[in-house]
Structure 1
Amino acid sequence: MGFLAPQSDVWIWLTIMYIPILTVMFEKDHFKMSCFKIMIFLGIVDMLALWVNSIITGYLAFHGAVYCSYPRLIYCAGMAGLGLWCCSCIIAMSLVINRLLDLTKPTICAMFFSGNKTFLVMTLPIIYGLYFVFFTTPVMFSSKFMTWFFDPLIFPDRGFEYANIPHGFNNLLVVGVTCLLYTSLCCVLGEKFNMIEDTANSKVKNLSLQIFFQSALICAINQIASIIYVIMNFIEVPLWLIMLGHVLWQFGHGAPVLIYLALNRTLRNGLIRRLGFRQIRIGSYNAERGSVNPTKTGHS
């Protein structure tokens, strides 16, 4: 019980750190760009998901809860956690598709993402998430393993009755496709960077590597967490692997805060400006959750 309860404080601070970053995204010059609209939506979903997999989970772990202890809380939180995770997967996919189209097919990108069209596109992740909330088996918390399972662990040897096949589809296919799309994005960036004059090559190559490692890190975290969660619901695995899967689930929603501050110059400079410190000059490209931010003259 002592593992998740103390670390929930860390995730509370990460949730709080999202707020000033979101205020920077809502600035007029940023909000008019489609990528920032998507990032705002993703940030809100991540904040809500952290409440489930970190704050509520810490509370339940502290009290040694099982499903029978808090049936309504666990059932509702399980529905929300599952829906938010699947929703965030589609938003992440939408973000990388947006960046790929912006770099390769700007006309098509404008067709789907210009102006308020981005909000229409974002209804798809909402519908997708709501499908998992209302039409699939929710996850249930158990203090025995300190994480969430589809099997409420009430009846022995009946775990397969609670299997959530659509969740497995989401974790193995949707997250996998997103990783492939990020790889494509890195290839496109590499080709475009090679076309830049040699005088700027060193800085450009460094930024290219930065974006690659950023996207690789996020994809690795989400992919490993996805695979572990699918496996542990069908196969008996060691407790340390279950705990690793849960921490990676938390990190998948909380890591963007740290990545934005460390690698996204646009957001970092905006936050520094809001705090009253000197602003750092930025270039045309900025790292963001495995993608690239356009400047003010970029496509919406």
Structure 2
Amino acid sequence: MGYWMFIFDHQKWYDLYEKNCSLKTQDEWYAEGKPNLAIGLIYFLTGLIFELSYIPFMIAMVRKEFFQYSCYKFMFMMGIYDIFILPCNGIITGIQVMKGEHFCHNPKLYYLTGVTGVVGFYGVTTLCVILGFDRFLEMGFPRLAKHAFGGYKTYLWMCVPILYQGYVGFQLPHIFNIKIYAMHHDPYNLIHGMENNSLFNFPAFQTFFAWNNSLIISFLTFFYGGLLVITKMRTKNETSTISKAQKQMTIQAICVCGEMFAAPLLHIFMLFWEFPVFIEILAHFSWICLHGDTPIIYFILNKSLRKAVMKMAIPSIFKFRDSFLKSSVATKTAANRVDASISYIQA
């Protein structure tokens, strides 16, 4: 049902997704769309700003001083996911909302952006569970953490979300729906005569999605709840060997993945019940923020990363300023020479 069908059984994908688009003309599909400049701009600008702000932190994280730690490897991989997801759930959907385009205006593009965003979400949530497990062992059982995540084993753990994405490829994806300004598993939802298609609402998919999100919430609660308890206990213990860096990385991991609780829980309810459109909009906006506000958390909580980014940014600013000043001086010098030549000729 998922992207494997798009790749290996395209005719079946066409019959399920694109064939119904021929039942209406392009003008009729435009009439089904609901353009909204304000919501579209919010989605677009939020996605774009988050996308651009992520880049310097990604560059900083690959430095040896950071990348030697397993948690930074996981955070870097999470950043790769987010950079691919933000154009799909923020930038492109923002343009789609501003134009009021239904799925049928460009079925392949909107299908692939939906698949990328949703499959990426599964990957990021899986990574958050692994990151929580890593931090849990590091803080509570450091010797065991070295055996579980030391050396090349970190890279083996990084394969888990990729393998899980392969399995998710058999599941039904979510696609942006212009009627509700949010993702929905049925691209024809709220289209008269085409809604409530059993192929988009079968129980097996609902069961998988509900179980996936429930397990994510359970694992996150266990690992990050345990982290909070361990951190508090070790902070109170005067003989504790907890370092400032360990505490900082733990708090940062909790903040980065803490918001993963709300989105999966909300989408479980949205799978079985219809909500007002403003709730759907808030859910989609929270999904954009879930993948994009991580650089803000890094900037506020991670002093080392913030310094590394500032060191990269400040020389660039000064270099730009110096080149601008040099060009200004050169322009003024050339202008003075021209004025002097004109004065000499006139004399």
- The normalised TM-score by structure 1 is 0.82
Question: CA, structure 1 residues 217+28, in 2 after alignment: closer, same or farther (shift >3 Å)?
Answer: closer
Answer whether contact 1:14 1:254 (CA < 8 A) is retained. yes
1:42 alignment partner, one of 71, 78, 99: 78
| 1:164-243 matched pairs, under 5 angstroms | 164-196=206-238, 215=254, 218-219=257-258, 221-243=259-281
**1:160 matches 2:201:** yes
1:131 alignment partner, one of 134, 153, 167: 167
| 1:39-118 matched pairs, under 5 angstroms | 39-118=75-154
Give the Å deviation of 1:161.
3.1
| Structure having the higher Rg | 2
**1:140 matches 2:175:** yes
Answer whether contact 2:85 2:120 (CA < 8 A) is retained. yes
Q: SS state of the match for residue 156, structure 1?
A: coil
Q: Which position in structure 1 is the counterpart of 2:283?
A: 245
Deviates more, 1:4-13 or 1:91-100: 4-13
Percent sequence identity is: 25
**1:121 matches 2:193:** no
- Structure ranking higher in helix proportion: 2
Q: Which amino acid aligns with 1:262?
A: I
Q: Which amino acid aligns with 1:160?
A: N
CA distance in 2, matches of 1:137, 1:197: 52
Q: Which position in structure 1 is the counterpart of 2:39?
A: 4
CA distance in 2, matches of 1:82, 1:169: 16
Give the superposed CA RMSD: 2.7
- 1:105-152 CA-to-partner distances (Å, cap 9, x unmatched) read 2222122221222111100011112322x2000112111111110012
CA distance in 2, matches of 1:193, 1:39: 25
Give the Å deviation of 1:231.
1.8
CA distance in 2, matches of 1:131, 1:59: 31
- The normalised TM-score by structure 2 is 0.71
Question: CA, structure 1 residues 128+276, in 2 after alignment: closer, same or farther (shift >3 Å)?
Answer: same
Q: Which position in structure 2 is the counterpart of 1:24?
A: 60
CA distance in 2, matches of 1:126, 1:62: 33
Q: SS state of the match for residue 148, structure 1?
A: strand
CA distance in 2, matches of 1:143, 1:62: 10
Give the Å deviation of 1:195.
1.3
Answer whether contact 1:4 1:57 (CA < 8 A) is retained. no
Answer whether contact 1:31 1:37 (CA < 8 A) is retained. yes
Answer whether contact 2:252 2:302 (CA < 8 A) is retained. no
The count of residues paired between Structure 1 and Structure 2 equals 270
- 1:203-260 CA-to-partner distances (Å, cap 9, x unmatched) read x8xx9799669836852x3222222222223211111111111111111111211100
Deviates more, 1:168-177 or 1:71-80: 168-177
CA distance in 2, matches of 1:212, 1:38: 15
Q: SS state of the match for residue 16, structure 1?
A: helix
Answer whether contact 1:42 1:91 (CA < 8 A) is retained. yes
CA distance in 2, matches of 1:2, 1:173: 37
